[in-house]
């Protein structure tokens, strides 16, 4: 069974409602014939607009984070059920910006993954090494640890609901892309771990692994030609309809 490619935009803290409407209006006809899954992850304030506009189209909508508790005294947080109620289908979990700036740990990533899945969301789980970790030669160790902990107590039945995004931190927003071969090699390490944790067939057939980090209209086709790379998580290049469309049509 071939793994279906998935291209997702991560808008980060960009686009107010008016900009959201303009971008999605441009995007809908452009990506209508896409052969891959297309997802846009927007700020919370744009989600209702995005869900409404993308109804009946091939664009799925995701949030950029989700809390692990069902409800309670967690000022500023949003639960999985709140997202489901809005019609949101995906949530990014464990983005390196959350890990770096907001104290996200492997343990809280795991809690968020489990809560999102329990509520029926699909997860885009981000892992990736920093520049220091890469230079110290511990990339494999870091992505294996992050991935292993993130999947603690996640059932095999949920594997098709989790997309892993390998995002080397040094490549995010820097214009530096991992070489296609490097990205492929690290993604293979992650897939081999998934084979160990679950089963070789599950890892081969069910687990989709994206690359993220300065992926754009120019380098998408080379990255997507690699056998282990099943998609992309796109930051900057997802903010312009033309650019994102070129990645979608890698």
What is the binding site for ligand 13P (CB under 6 A)? 10, 95, 167, 172-173, 212-215, 233-237
Min CB(214)–ligand 13P separation in Å: 4
Report the residue number whose CB is nearest to ligand 13P.
Answer: 235
Min CB(126)–ligand 13P separation in Å: 7
Nearer to ligand 13P, 142 or 237 (CB): 237
Coil, helix or strand at residue 82: helix
Tokens found for residue 60 = 């799925």
Nearer to ligand 13P, 24 or 233 (CB): 233
35 and 13 Cβ atoms separated by less than 8 Å: no
Q: Which of 95, 97, 129, 228 is catalytic?
A: 95
Nearer to ligand 13P, 197 or 220 (CB): 220
Residues 94 and 10: their CA atoms lie apart, in Å, by 13
135 and 112 Cβ atoms separated by less than 8 Å: no
Min CB(222)–ligand 13P separation in Å: 15
Whether 67 is catalytic? no
Min CB(234)–ligand 13P separation in Å: 5
Residues 237 and 191: their CA atoms lie apart, in Å, by 26
List all residues 6 or more positions away from 152 whose beta carbon is below 8 Å from its beta carbon: 110
95 and 65 Cβ atoms separated by less than 8 Å: yes
Min CB(173)–ligand 13P separation in Å: 4
Half-sphere exposure of 170 (CA within 13 A, CB side): 12
Nearer to ligand 13P, 5 or 212 (CB): 212
125 and 90 Cβ atoms separated by less than 8 Å: no
Nearer to ligand 13P, 159 or 233 (CB): 233
Q: Which of 97, 104, 167, 228 is catalytic?
A: 167
3-state percent breakdown (helix, strand, coil) of the chain, nearest 5: 50, 15, 35
Q: Which residues are catalytic?
A: 95, 167
């Amino acid at each position: 069974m071939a793994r279906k490619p998935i291209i997702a935009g991560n808008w980060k803290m960009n686009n107010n409602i008016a900009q959201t409407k303009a971008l999605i209006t441009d995007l809908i006809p452009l990506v209508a014939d896409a052969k891959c899954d297309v997802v846009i992850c927007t700020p919370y304030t744009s989600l209702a607009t995005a869900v409404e506009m993308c109804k009946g189209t091939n664009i799925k909508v995701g949030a950029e984070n989700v809390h692990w508790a069902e409800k309670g005294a967690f000022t500023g947080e949003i639960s999985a059920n709140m997202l489901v109620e809005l019609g949101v289908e995906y949530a990014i979990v464990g983005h390196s910006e959350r890990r770096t700036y907001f104290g996200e740990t492997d343990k809280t990533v795991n809690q968020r993954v489990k809560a999102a899945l329990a509520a029926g969301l699909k997860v885009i789980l981000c892992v990736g090494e920093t520049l220091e970790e890469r230079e110290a030669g511990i990339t494999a160790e870091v992505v294996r640890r992050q991935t292993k902990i993130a999947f603690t107590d996640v059932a095999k039945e949920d594997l098709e609901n989790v997309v892993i995004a390998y995002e080397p931190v040094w490549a995010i927003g820097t214009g530096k892309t991992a070489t296609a071969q490097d990205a492929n090699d690290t993604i293979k390490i992650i897939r081999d771990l998934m084979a160990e944790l679950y089963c070789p067939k599950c890892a081969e057939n069910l687990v989709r692994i994206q690359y993220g980090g300065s992926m754009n209209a120019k380098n998408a086709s080379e990255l997507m030609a690699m056998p282990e790379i099943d998609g992309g998580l796109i930051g900057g290049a997802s903010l312009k309809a033309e650019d994102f469309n070129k990645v979608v049509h890698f």
